[in-house]
Amino acid sequence: MKDVPIWEKSNLTLEEAAAYSGIGINKLREITNEDKCKFVLWVGNKRLIKRRLFDCFVEQAYSI
């Protein structure tokens, strides 16, 4: 099985998103728990981060 680089994945786990962005896992959990969060995808109890929307969120954010 071939590993796909993080920057080519469309959805990231919390651990991958933390490594990709430099934002801590606990902070990502806090942000994605909000109802208005547009870059989270719930698969059952598993939380995935939509990478492209997450990139846009980080670019527009003044502080996190």
Q: For the beta carbon of residue 18, count every other beta carbon within 10 angstroms.
A: 18
d(CA 14, CA 34): 15
pTM reported for the whole predicted model: 0.86
Give me the phi and psi of 58, to 5 degrees please.
-65, -40
Q: Which residues pair with 41 in a beta bridge?
A: 48
CATH of region 6-60, choose from 3.10.20.70, 3.90.105.50, 3.40.50.720, 3.30.1050.10: 3.90.105.50
pLDDT for the residue 6: 86
Q: Per residue in 23-63, pLDDT tens?
A: 999 999 999 999 899 999 999 999 999 999 999 999 998 98
Q: For the beta carbon of residue 19, count every other beta carbon within 10 angstroms.
A: 13
